[in-house]
Structure 1
Amino acid sequence: MAKIKKIAKIIGVLLLLGFMVLIVLFYRMSTPKSSKEISKTFSEGEATVLIEKATFNNFNYRVLKTKIEVDTTLTTLVFVHGSIGSAMDFKSYLIDEELNKKANLIAYDRVGYGIYQTGNVQASIQFEVELLENLIKDLNPKNTILVGYSYGGPIALASKKDYKKIMLLAPAVYSKVEPMPWGLNFYKWKATRWVMPEVWKAASKEKLGHKADLLKFENNWADTPSNIISIHGNKDWIVPFGNSIYLEQKFPKQQFELVTLNNAGHGLVWSNFNEIKKQLLQQLN
Structure 2
Amino acid sequence: MLKKVLKIVGVIIILIVVGLYFAFRIFTAPKPDAKILEAYENSLVKPVLTSETYNGFNYRKLSLIVNDSLPTMVFVHGTIGSINDFSKYISDRDLQTKCNMIAYDRIGYNYNDENHVQESINFERNMLKDVISNLPSEKTILVGYSYGGPIALAVKEKVKKIILLAPAVHSSVEPMPWMINFYKWKLTRWLVPRIWKEASKEKLSHKKDLKHFEGDWESTPNKVVSIHGSGDWIVPYENSKLLEDQFPEDQFKLVTIDKANHGLVWSNFETIKNQFLKILD
- Residues 118 and 198, structure 1, Cα contact 8 Å, conserved in 2: no
- Residues 30 and 112, structure 2, Cα contact 8 Å, conserved in 1: no
Match of 1:236, SS?
coil
Asked if 1:14 is matched to 2:12, the reply is yes
Report the Cα distance in structure 1 between the residues aligned to 2:266 and 2:129, rounded to whole angstroms.
26
Match of 2:81, SS?
coil
Segments of structure 1 that go 5 or more residues without pairing to the other structure are none
Could you say which residue in structure 1 is the equivalent of 2:277?
281
Displacement of 1:189: 1.2
- Residues 141 and 162, structure 1, Cα contact 8 Å, conserved in 2: yes
Report the Cα distance in structure 2 between the residues aligned to 1:41 and 1:95, rounded to whole angstroms.
8
Q: How do 1:126-205 and structure 2 match up within 5 A?
A: 126-205=122-201
Displacement of 1:100: 1.1
Letter in 2 for 1:113: Y
| More deviation, 272-281/213-222 | 272-281
Letter in 1 for 2:28: S
Letter in 2 for 1:29: F
Aligned residues: 281
Report the Cα distance in structure 2 between the residues aligned to 1:245 and 1:143, rounded to whole angstroms.
27
Displacement of 1:4: 3.4
Letter in 1 for 2:118: Q
Identity of aligned residues (%): 52
Match of 1:43, SS?
coil
Letter in 1 for 2:51: K
- Residues 119 and 201, structure 1, Cα contact 8 Å, conserved in 2: no
Given the two structures, how large is their TM-score scaled by the length of structure 1?
A: 0.95
Could you say which residue in structure 1 is the equivalent of 2:63?
65
Report the Cα distance in structure 2 between the residues aligned to 1:133 and 1:45, rounded to whole angstroms.
28
Report the Cα distance in structure 2 between the residues aligned to 1:146 and 1:97, rounded to whole angstroms.
20
- Residues 32 and 114, structure 1, Cα contact 8 Å, conserved in 2: yes
Displacement of 1:116: 4.6
| More deviation, 134-143/36-45 | 36-45
Deviation digits for residues 56-82 of structure 1 (CA, Å, limit 9, x no counterpart): 111111111112xx7431111000011
Report the Cα distance in structure 2 between the residues aligned to 1:235 and 1:163, rounded to whole angstroms.
30
Could you say which residue in structure 1 is the equivalent of 2:80?
84
Report the Cα distance in structure 1 between the residues aligned to 2:156 and 2:146, rounded to whole angstroms.
19
- Residues 119 and 202, structure 1, Cα contact 8 Å, conserved in 2: no
Report the Cα distance in structure 1 between the residues aligned to 2:175 and 2:114, rounded to whole angstroms.
25
Could you say which residue in structure 1 is the equivalent of 2:2?
4
Q: Structure 1 residues 50, 156: CA separation in 2 closer, same or farther (over 3 Å shift)?
A: same
Match of 1:42, SS?
coil
Q: How do 1:79-118 and structure 2 match up within 5 A?
A: 79-118=75-114
Displacement of 1:5: 2.9
Letter in 1 for 2:8: I
Q: Structure 1 residues 236, 260: CA separation in 2 closer, same or farther (over 3 Å shift)?
A: same
Could you say which residue in structure 2 is the equivalent of 1:248?
244
| More deviation, 115-124/72-81 | 115-124
Report the Cα distance in structure 2 between the residues aligned to 1:227 and 1:118, rounded to whole angstroms.
37
Segments of structure 2 that go 5 or more residues without pairing to the other structure are none
Displacement of 1:119: 6.2
Displacement of 1:94: 0.5
